[in-house]
Structure 1
């Protein structure tokens, strides 16, 4: 059953980007990955970012997450200037405020699920106990298992538990269901939806799957390095009701 979307525009902006550009030098050629992107993301918002390969989605996510820096324009996370920040400031920003989930799980194979999560909790300022993080993704019974003993969906849920263990303000997800079958992907999206709702984590999900946009407050469609279109959902479809 669809749920009426809560208004988010009145909430405090977490990210504000103005005329954001990113250009890469490829030999003697400049390649524009982002072109004058204007963007606001708000507290507790769930946003889906769509677009073909090469449209700038991952570049934008990496810049929002402090993994890369814009060539020009302005980008603020609350009172943090992410364009002017040096490497040390960006490292601190990532550590304190951002959780990442990628298409491939990047778990350490020699560590159990619990130990993979605990590794991140050890460097966080106010960490969630690893057991609680695993319980939030429904894997408390698998905490002693190694990645090789878990399915792809379970490994991705461990990756989400690892990301939320430091209680991030922002969760940035790059194709989190890209390596999963449809049924498993829906379960992973349900976990992300629950984290957004229960922890209030501002969540941005990159996907090629347009159907996933139905569960978001907003979807942003990128093309040629720009945000070409924005759609606001008056009603949101729960992740478990999605099918593709």
Structure 2
């Protein structure tokens, strides 16, 4: 990665005029249209917007899973948009934890073993049981995914993501496949990690209620940032008006 201008002390991500265009046959799809914003250390940010607004594309670019068509992305003082594939792989491995809508646990491994897969490739991992404890799943450590509910599997997936102690946790619709009650438990686990580990956290959702948990809410529409709001009072998941 190449070094860019020095970031402010608490700036983790900066995007400058980022665009993303996908070629779908003869049609060009503009997923992002000049997105500029910053994400700060320890922040809990919600990316809010309808399907197709560009939320997942932006998250994937921040996580090094995709590259923009134009514009610049910085992680701390490193320019991600100047990185080659091997550098992006190393970046993802060392600095970013991902949580997706579907859990992607290995069925033949216990919860603990699923988390240990990540700790084996991390530089400074926390013990798998400690990661499971953070999401209140340590008592289910020896259960296989088929023995766990959807919410429990998602919490194991979160433990797996944070066991390598990433600086950033990126969550794409983490409650999208869950009912409201189970989603509350999962959201509380994510918020607890943000509070206790100080992990910079970005959560994608189309559910406006979840935005009440965030420090800031970044609303996207048609590939652009439509609005940025700061919450003066953050609610916990049990207080959300669903």
TM-score, normalised via structure 1 length: 0.95
Counterpart check, 1:131 vs 2:135: no
Are the aligned partners of 1:182 and 1:243 in contact in 2 as well (CA < 8 Å)? no
Distance 1:11 1:217, change over 3 A: farther
Across the aligned residues of Structure 1 and Structure 2, the Cα RMSD in angstroms comes to 0.9
In structure 1, which of residues 176, 179, 184 is the aligned counterpart of residue 177 of structure 2? 179
For 2:66, the equivalent position in structure 1 comes to 68
1:73-126 CA-to-partner distances (Å, cap 9, x unmatched) read: 010001221111110000000000000000000000110000000001100000
Q: 1:242, 1:233 → 2: CA distance? A: 13
In structure 1, which of residues 44, 47, 52 is the aligned counterpart of residue 45 of structure 2? 47
1:104-163 CA-to-partner distances (Å, cap 9, x unmatched) read: 000001100000000011000000100100111111110000000000010000000000
For 1:19, the equivalent position in structure 2 comes to 17
For 1:4, the equivalent position in structure 2 comes to none
Shift of 1:11: 5.8
Shift of 1:243: 3.9
User: Where does structure 1 lack aligned partners over 5 or more consecutive residues?
Assistant: 1-9
In structure 1, which of residues 32, 36, 54 is the aligned counterpart of residue 30 of structure 2? 32
**Count of equivalent residues:** 235
For 1:7, the equivalent position in structure 2 comes to none
1:25 match: secondary structure: strand
Q: 2:208, 2:87 → 1: CA distance? A: 35
Moved over 4 A (4+): none
User: Where does structure 2 lack aligned partners over 5 or more consecutive residues?
Assistant: 1-7
Q: 1:26, 1:201 → 2: CA distance? A: 36
Query: Which sits farther off after the overlay, 188-197 or 23-32?
Result: 23-32
For 2:159, the equivalent position in structure 1 comes to 161
1:83 match: secondary structure: helix
In structure 1, which of residues 224, 228, 231 is the aligned counterpart of residue 229 of structure 2? 231
TM-score, normalised via structure 2 length: 0.95
Are the aligned partners of 1:43 and 1:201 in contact in 2 as well (CA < 8 Å)? yes
Distance 1:129 1:42, change over 3 A: same
For 1:112, the equivalent position in structure 2 comes to 110
Are the aligned partners of 1:102 and 1:175 in contact in 2 as well (CA < 8 Å)? yes
Q: 1:157, 1:169 → 2: CA distance? A: 18
Q: 1:184, 1:26 → 2: CA distance? A: 37
Counterpart check, 1:140 vs 2:166: no
